[in-house]
């Protein structure tokens, strides 16, 4: 099968959250910051809901980049690989070993900023045989031109560019799955899909009450 036709599952992927640090957040202007925050929270909540392995890393959090945003810590826990200086997280032995330890070859990856913290490790991982899904709407950078240039370069290198909602739907696969309703709720909590989801819940409750 062509690798671009392969799909994500609960059992074949690991989530890598790279450098979502408070000092970098203030520089992200390619999308609305509140929307970006919701996208990041939704992606993390998806991984937690299906017990997907996750790896969180920060670049010199004691420096100007600051600590990992608290929303990620609240969802995924406070275990963070703090890199001493490597800009490309893939060059950090601790980060790479944490990915390898999961035994999974598909990496769902997001980072701040898109053109450095996401793009560099995404390209490096692909070069070593990993199948990387770069979640661009749970990442952010200086402006839209930079974001588009990053997407083009990652695509040229064989990275799969994705969005968090499409990743969630791909992992869910079927509304009738064990996690279907819970994942639908996460989508409803962090996107405008909430109106559809809430209408469905209300209709279901009304039907059960009869």
DSSP string covering the chain: --GGG----TTTEEEEEE--BHHHHTT--SS-HHHHHHHHHHHHHHHHHTT--EEEEEE-TTSTT-SBPHHHHHHH-S--EEESS-SSGGG-HHHHHHHHHTT--EEEEEEBSIIIIIHHHHHHHHHTT-EEEEEGGG-B-S-HHHHHHHHHHHHHTT-EEE-HHHHHHHHH--TTSTTHHHHHHHHHHHSTTHHHHHHHHHHHHHHHH-
Note if 28 is an active site residue: no
Structure tokens at 123: 């390209």
Catalytic residue among 16, 45, 110, 117: 117
Tell me if 60 sits within 8 A of 108, measured CB to CB.
no
Rounded Cα–Cα distance for residues 145 and 103 (Å) = 36
Active site residues: 117
């Amino acid at each position: 099968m062509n690798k671009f036709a392969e799909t994500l599952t609960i059992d074949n992927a690991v989530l890598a959250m790279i450098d979502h640090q408070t000092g970098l957040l203030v520089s992200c202007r390619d999308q609305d910051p509140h929307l970006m925050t919701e996208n990041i929270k939704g992606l993390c909540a998806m991984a937690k809901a299906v017990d997907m392995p996750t790896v969180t890393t920060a670049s010199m959090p004691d420096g100007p980049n600051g600590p990992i945003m608290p929303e990620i810590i609240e969802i995924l826990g406070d275990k963070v690989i703090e890199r001493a200086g490597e800009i490309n997280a893939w060059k950090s032995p601790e980060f790479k070993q944490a990915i390898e330890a999961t035994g999974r070859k598909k990496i769902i990856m997001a980072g701040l900023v898109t053109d450095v913290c996401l793009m560099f490790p995404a390209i490096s991982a692909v070069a070593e045989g990993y199948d990387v899904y770069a979640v661009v709407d749970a990442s952010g950078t200086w402006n839209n031109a930079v974001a588009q240039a990053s997407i083009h370069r990652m695509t040229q290198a064989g990275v799969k560019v994705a969005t968090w909602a499409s990743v969630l739907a791909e992992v869910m696969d079927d509304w009738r799955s064990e996690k279907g309703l819970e994942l639908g709720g996460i989508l409803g909590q962090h996107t405008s899909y909430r109106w559809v989801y809430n209408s469905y819940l209300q209709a279901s409750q009304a039907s059960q009450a009869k």
